[in-house]
A and B are shown apart, each in its own frame.
Chain A
């Protein structure tokens, strides 16, 4: 069974940093591109970042480019999102999701709240 489990969220002040993790199981993690997708409270879905299976290709949404860094450790089956210079508008539930055709598996999400 494919499982994606996010962690690392919490309450953080504007301008500070936070690092999210997503541990994968039930599939060969190193064979798949991975994504972070977020959902602000009561809002729709926004793709945030993508990393290819071997980390050769990395893409970001314009709203986070230069502030967020996606990375992965295939030996640990883990995806990361380093978030810096956080803003109130980054407040959201952050999901990791596998790239199949579409986003075929999602984690349960981890909440990030940016507030003073």
Chain B
């Protein structure tokens, strides 16, 4: 299975820019997607196919990367962005998720 590796946690101040990384153990083309999960809620799709903003998602969120290295960027970060962010690949079977990066605001 394709293993996706994310940093466990990040802490940033409101108004700053934050980049969350995801590294795949093998190439996934551009088929990397990003989700936001707030406590007690279901995951929500933010970015699909590496760099495409999902419907209704603020333009503060952006994605980049291809192959094995991907980044989710939030600029500027707002208090409401406190959540866990997961990457997920759909190029190789089975689909797999990263372990999640918990974003905390200072």
Contacts and interface: CB of A to CB of B under 8 A. Distances in A.
Interface in B64-90: 86, 88, 90
A-side binding surface: helix, strand, loop or mixed? strand
B96 A47 contact: yes
B86 A95 contact: no
A25 interface: no
A26 interface: no
B7 to A, nearest CB: 13
A102 B88 contact: yes
A102 B98 contact: no
B88 A104 contact: no
Contacts of A103: 33, 35, 43, 45, 88
A41 interface: no
Given A45-B86, A106-B42, A106-B44, A101 B49 contact: yes
The 4 closest A-B pairs by CB, nearest first: A102-B33, A106-B42, A45-B97, A101-B48
Given A45-B86, A45-B88, A101-B48, 8 more contacts: A44-B98, A47-B95, A95-B42, A102-B48, A102-B88, A106-B43, A107-B42, A108-B42
